[in-house]
Amino acid sequence: MPEVAVSLGANIDRESNIRAAVSGLIAFYPGALFSPVFESKAVGFEGPDFFNLAGIFYSDLEAPDLVTQLREIEAKLGRTRDGSVMGSREMDIDLLLYGDQILYAQGIDVPRHEILECAHVLKPLSLVWPDQCHPVNGLTYSELWRAMAPTHADKLRPVTLDL
């Protein structure tokens, strides 16, 4: 059974939607572990700031079925997919990693490209899974964050949010 990593983000009703999404994941995966929550600016559009975090858990679902499950949790929290990629959202849950598998050839962005591009994805992941290696470049998430931090650490603000 692969250990998977997900990122969670919300900029509409942030506190309650983050708590509800974490509760939804724990209902399916009682052993799930979550990073601290960080606040960050919206990327790619004008909008309210986001709350972001990462979670890891074991899943016996195949990757496409897991993505479907994650989208169902998003939908329960009011997320609609209207074709617009960038915009405010009640909840965004992305599958970042599915074990050490590389699933690009299957049409799934795993490992998710944002891991290496976005501080709001990489820092939480580096805190919950510091010694795990990225399946493409082989570096640990803590090493990747140390390399990104000098130019991106100021983009994230810790948030005290009991989950």
% of the chain beyond a pLDDT of 90: 77
Cα separations in angstroms, 105 against 96, 108, 109, 110: 15, 7, 9, 10
Task: Find the range with the poorest average confidence among 24-38, 41-55, 84-98, 122-136.
Answer: 84-98
Is the model more confident about 98 or about 81? 98
The confidence band for 150, taking pLDDT boundaries of 50, 70 and 90, is very high
Cα(125)–Cα(121) distance, integer angstroms: 6
Going from the C-alpha of 114 to that of each of 121, 152, 162, the distances in angstroms are 7, 14, 26
Residue range 120-134: mean pLDDT, rounded: 96
Q: What are φ and ψ of residue 159, in 5° steps?
A: -125, 135
Q: Is the model's pLDDT at 124 over the cut of 90? A: yes
For residues 141 and 130, the answer to whether their CB atoms sit within 8 Å is yes
pLDDT digits (tens, 9 = 90+) for 26-80: 999 999 999 999 999 887 778 899 999 999 999 999 999 999 999 999 889 876 6
Q: What residue ranges do the domains of the chain occupy? A: 3-159
pTM of the model: 0.93
CATH superfamily entry for domain 3-159: 7,8-Dihydro-6-hydroxymethylpterin-pyrophosphokinase HPPK (3.30.70.560)
Query: Cα–Cα distance between 7 and 119 in angstroms, integer?
Result: 12
Say yes or no to pLDDT of 2 above 90.
yes
Q: Is the pLDDT of residue 8 over 70?
A: yes
Q: Is the pLDDT of residue 133 over 90?
A: yes
Provide the pLDDT confidence category of residue 90 given band limits of 50, 70 and 90.
Answer: confident
Mean pLDDT of the chain: 92
Confidence of residue 15 (pLDDT cuts 50, 70, 90): very high
Residue with tokens 């559009």: 45
